[in-house]
Amino acid sequence: MEAAAILGSLPASTRFMGCFRSGDRFSILTPFYPMVGRPLPTKHLKIYRMKLFATSEVRIRSKFRCFLRKLRQSKRTNVQVLSTNEREAQNLIGWQEKFIQGFGTLFSCMVVSMMLIISASVAVSKAPTWALTEDNRLFLEAWRTIDRAYIDKTFNGQSWFRYREHALRTEPMNNREETYMAIKKMLSTLNDPFTRFLEPEKFKSLRSGTQGALIGVGLSIGYPTGLDVSSTGLVVISASPGGPADKSGVKPGDFILAIDDRGTEDMDIYEAAELLQGTEGSTISLDICSGHEMKHIVLRREKITLNPVKSRLCEVNGRGSESSRVGYIKLTSFNQNSSGALRDAIASLRGSGVQSFVLDLRDNSGGLFAEGIETAKIWLDKGVIVYICDNGGVRDIYETDGSNSVAVSEPLVVLVNRGTASASEILAGALKDNRRAILYGEPTFGKGKIQSVFELSDGSGLAVTVARYETPAHIDIDQVGIIPDRPLPQSFPLDEDSFCRCLKDPASACDVNAASLFSG
C-alpha cells in the first residue's frame, strides 16, 4: 500500500513526526510529506502505542483520544488512523475491513494521517514549549549514547524513551554539576556497575592509563568473584611490579576494606580507582585483609609507568649435550604499546635461538580490547578469537587468517590465575580453544563483558557495556573464568629470574621442569 494513499496530502508547514512502538523497537517516519509515493515498511505494521510530536517540540496529547477510543470500542484495535478529515478516515477503515475479509490475514495495517490539522502557530500558543539548554543537550547526548550502544535493549526492563521525557521534565539541569548528577542517576537505573559516567578529569585519567602511564599506587582492583563472592570489600587483582602497593606487600587476592577510612562495602570499583589516583607525592591509607591478617598501610602516590612486556631467555640443560631454550614473556596489561612490544620481545628471543615460549598472563587485569585481539593474532595461524554477543546472540566474530601471525610453530604455555581478567581472558580463551597453548594455573577472574569508552562534547565520557563475549568454544566465562588445563603449585615463581632458576633446578620448590611443562 502506498504512503500517498494512506497519508493524503500534508502541507509542509505541519511536519509532524510519528514515533511508533513496534514490540521493543521504534520506527521513525519524519517528516511525512517526503514519503508520498513510497511504500511503508511492512515490518512495523503492528502498532501498540502511538505518540505524536511536532517539529516545534509541541506535544499533542489529547486531540485524538476520543477518536482512538472509538476505534478501540469498535474492536478495530489493529489500526490507528489520523486523517485530514473524518470521511477519509472512515474510507480507510472500510478499506481495512475489505482487506481483512478478502485475504483472511492477521496483518494489521499502519495508517498514519491527520484527523484535524491545526496550524503550527495555534499549536504553539496552546501547548507548553521549552528551549533546550546546553546542559539539556549534554544530557541528551549521554542518553543517545546509551540508547545506541548499550548491550541490553530492554534497558533493565524500563522504557528508555519514557525515562528521557520524564528526566527532561523533572531533573534539575541548571548547571553542569546538576547535569552530571542527572546523567549518573540515569545510568544507575541500568543496574550495571561497569557502565558509568566520567567527569572530564576522570575521563582524561582513564585515557592516559590506556596510553601507558598514570599516577597512583599501582593497584588493579575488582569485585569478589567465585568462592569470595560473599566477601565484603574490593579484591586486589594485581599490583604493578615495583609500584607503591607492590613494595608494601599488597598481593593479588587481598581485600581492600577501606580507603582513607572510607569503607568499601558499597563502593564501586571506579569510585575506588578514583580515590587511589591523585597528585604525585600525596599519600593514601588502605585497610587490607590478607588471608587472616589485617593491615593498615600508608602509600605514597607516584607515576606508574605501564611497560606491558618483560622477557627473558632461560637456557636449561637437558640430557647429554642437549639444552632447551625457553622464552619467558610476562605480559602485564593491554595498553596501546602491548602488541608491538610483544612482537619486539619475540623477535629478540628468536634471535637468541628460542625453542619454546611461556606467556605469563598472571595478574594481567586486561585493558584495551583491540590489543587483546591483536595479541591473539600473533600466536594463531587461523581460527576464531572471540565471539561478540548481545541479548540476541552472536553479533560479531573476531578471527584471524594468519596474516598477522609471528609465533605459531613453537610450543606455547600460558600461565593464568585469578588476577587474569578481561582482555587477557579473551587471549587465554582463544589460545586454549584453538589448541595453540597449554594453560597452567587457576581459574581466571571471570569478566565476560566488554566496555567501550565514549567522549562527550564537554570532555566528559561514558564507559558503556556494549557486549559480552564467548570463547571460540562458545563458553560464556562471565563470573566463571577460564578453566586451565593443569594447576600450578603455589610456590611457582612470579618473576622471570625466579622462573629461569626454577627450570634449571628440577628439584626446586616450584616442582616443574621444562620437559613436564610442555608435555601437555
Does the annotation mark 330 as catalytic?
no
Residue partners of 440: CB distance under 8 A and separation at least 6: 413, 414, 415, 416, 484, 485, 486, 487, 488, 517
Strand partners, 327: 313, 357
Distance from C-alpha of 485 to C-alpha of 415, rounded to nearest angstrom: 10
Strand partners, 476: 470
Q: In whole angstroms, what separates CA 431 from the centre of its chain? A: 22
Tell how strand 461-470 and strand 383-390 pair up: antiparallel
Cβ(148)–Cβ(169) below 8 Å: no
What is the enclosing helix (H) or strand (E) of 384? strand 383-390
Q: Which of 333, 422, 424, 460 is catalytic?
A: 422
C-alpha closest to that of 276 among 253, 250, 308, 307: 250
Q: In whole angstroms, what separates CA 52 from the centre of its chain? A: 34
**3-class state of residue 414 by DSSP:** strand
Does the annotation mark 447 as catalytic?
yes
DSSP state of 442: S
Cell output for 9: 496530502
E strands in 291-407: 293-300, 302-305, 309-317, 323-331, 356-360, 383-390, 393-400
Reduced DSSP (H G I as helix, E B as strand, rest coil) percent helix, strand, coil of the chain, to 5: 30, 25, 45
C-alpha closest to that of 256 among 283, 229, 225, 222: 222
Residue partners of 155: CB distance under 8 A and separation at least 6: 146, 163, 189, 190
Q: Which of 202, 330, 432, 447 is catalytic?
A: 447
Cβ(288)–Cβ(250) below 8 Å: yes
C-alpha distance from residue 184 to each of 90, 107, 140, 180, 197 (Å): 49, 42, 13, 6, 6
Distance from C-alpha of 277 to C-alpha of 217, rounded to nearest angstrom: 7
**3-class state of residue 256 by DSSP:** strand
Residue identified by cell 593514601 is 284
Catalytic residues: 422, 447
